[in-house]
Structure 1
């Protein structure tokens, strides 16, 4: 049996993907991910559900599923699949692109049996679902605690505590490995009734963006020895369909840098406080979110 969609076909018998007539064998977990999303469409599959199915009887990193999703998207693009197959539903999980029609072609009775076995795996995995949901939630809680604890340590060192006013107009996610460099700027936004949340790494930022809504993201360009960390964060966001407005705040003035950020889907680069304020305030109004 084959699932046929876009300019590709997913073969159940040999776990391969055929794109424009060229067939490529898929790694088992990538194959199972695609089959599961197709079988459950148009349902949104939660992260806990997918982790429990793809890594049964295993304890995995909170980054395992986002990394698999990202790697699968990259593979599909390299193979020439014309449409994005996997949609990110922020704060919920993932689903197969509802705009893509899927048809089925029966190949043989052996293939049908194999498909039934695969679906049986879906069912058997459900026996462990509640247990692994609990494990995953515990891991996520620990990860969130680490993020918050790290942010508090940085904030204590700078006598600045990020928070959200009770009547906040919106929220900023600020990504910088040296939050103390932005104390005055963050204080300004708090006075404008805008919540400010700090994180120090791309990985933490992507996790927070997958769980919460932010009005704007502000990032430095280089951190932890990676000169293009801000650009890589922007590209990672846009590759998952996250269109949150994105600005780079840096001390280096460069027209080329602005050009690169804009071409990657960002909204701008600021090198001065006043310039940053003008950019960010464009995204807030008097209505609470």
Structure 2
């Protein structure tokens, strides 16, 4: 199904947004938010309804939805969408802009890369982990969510954390929903005078990439229940013309996974610390010498 409104074509099948003939793959929750508001228009959707739909079986902080709406609006504006899509109804919730006329029709099939095999790998390997994450969230409620969304430094109130040594030779943007998993690796880069900037979501990573320069992006593959979140971040970056070197750092070793990342424009996949260090330091070779 395709939805046409303003200067936008939203394709529900391919999860893409076409603005002035420029096609972009949307991050999962931003896409689901837009599609839900489209399908329920002109209804006003309250916060409880949207949170239950976008974060099923999860405990989230009260500001998760407003932040997603804000990030989605910013992304749409940067893409060149001519009109506001999401309308805030004070004290009630959000709705699709009633001033926009929407045309719907069934889109023709489009050829895409087949990611089913790699998706199955992550779903199978991540089942046990998802169980424990869900159990932990249930037992510890909102406090655990806040901890997960903070970087390992815990130095301030913002979710996005940075650590940059004096006389830094460059910067890494590290995207992972649990930054504490990478403390040793990040310490290694800091010792080599490379700044490390942590974020936990695709939307925030894209926003930061539009604002600042980074030498390398390191991302996990699956996060927040999305087994291909890292791949989708890479696809969106390349669709926007961002050629920042991109590596996936994960515990699942797979030749197929490495091929998919490279075919999408990434530099590769690392499952061992030594391989990650060697690959990433190549992008700082001249500065280190």
Q: TM-score, structure 2 length as denominator?
A: 0.50
- C-alpha distance in structure 2 between counterparts of 1:278 and 1:266, whole Å: 16
Identify the residue that residue 274 of structure 1 maps to in structure 2.
274
Identify the residue that residue 259 of structure 1 maps to in structure 2.
259
Query: Is 1:177–2:177 an aligned residue pair?
Result: yes
- C-alpha distance in structure 2 between counterparts of 1:225 and 1:26, whole Å: 29
Per-residue CA deviations over 1:190-240 (Å, capped at 9, x if unaligned) read: 000000000001011000000000000000000010000000000010000
Relative to 1, partners in 2 of residues 1:71 and 1:255: Cα closer, same or farther, differing over 3 Å?
A: farther
- C-alpha distance in structure 2 between counterparts of 1:216 and 1:275, whole Å: 15
Query: Is 1:28–2:37 an aligned residue pair?
Result: no
- C-alpha distance in structure 2 between counterparts of 1:25 and 1:224, whole Å: 27
Query: Is 1:163–2:166 an aligned residue pair?
Result: no
Identify the residue that residue 247 of structure 1 maps to in structure 2.
247
Match of 2:75 among 66, 90, 102: 66
Give the Å deviation of 1:25. Answer: 11
- C-alpha distance in structure 1 between counterparts of 2:4 and 2:78, whole Å: 14
- C-alpha distance in structure 1 between counterparts of 2:260 and 2:180, whole Å: 27
Q: Tell me, what secondary structure is at the counterpart of 1:66?
A: helix
Relative to 1, partners in 2 of residues 1:183 and 1:239: Cα closer, same or farther, differing over 3 Å?
A: same
Per-residue CA deviations over 1:151-192 (Å, capped at 9, x if unaligned) read: 99332469xx74112211110000000101100000000000
- C-alpha distance in structure 2 between counterparts of 1:193 and 1:237, whole Å: 26
- C-alpha distance in structure 1 between counterparts of 2:201 and 2:227, whole Å: 13
Identify the residue that residue 219 of structure 1 maps to in structure 2.
219
- C-alpha distance in structure 1 between counterparts of 2:178 and 2:244, whole Å: 22
Per-residue CA deviations over 1:232-253 (Å, capped at 9, x if unaligned) read: 0000100000000000000111
Identify the residue that residue 151 of structure 2 maps to in structure 1.
154
Per-residue CA deviations over 1:31-81 (Å, capped at 9, x if unaligned) read: 9x85xxxxxxxxxxxxxxxxxxxxxxxxx8342252366697xxxxx99xx
8 A Cα contact 1:151 1:198, kept in partner? no
Relative to 1, partners in 2 of residues 1:25 and 1:270: Cα closer, same or farther, differing over 3 Å?
A: closer
- C-alpha distance in structure 2 between counterparts of 1:183 and 1:209, whole Å: 22
Relative to 1, partners in 2 of residues 1:232 and 1:70: Cα closer, same or farther, differing over 3 Å?
A: farther
- C-alpha distance in structure 1 between counterparts of 2:79 and 2:187, whole Å: 35
Q: Tell me, what secondary structure is at the counterpart of 1:247?
A: strand
Relative to 1, partners in 2 of residues 1:235 and 1:152: Cα closer, same or farther, differing over 3 Å?
A: closer
- C-alpha distance in structure 2 between counterparts of 1:246 and 1:152, whole Å: 22
8 A Cα contact 1:164 1:196, kept in partner? yes
Within 5 A, what are the aligned runs for 1:46-61? 61=70
8 A Cα contact 1:172 1:197, kept in partner? yes
Unaligned runs of 5+ in 2: 10-18, 21-68, 82-106, 109-145, 156-160
8 A Cα contact 1:169 1:285, kept in partner? no
Larger radius of gyration: 1
Relative to 1, partners in 2 of residues 1:186 and 1:257: Cα closer, same or farther, differing over 3 Å?
A: same
- C-alpha distance in structure 2 between counterparts of 1:214 and 1:150, whole Å: 25
- C-alpha distance in structure 2 between counterparts of 1:272 and 1:242, whole Å: 26
Aligned residues between the structures? 166
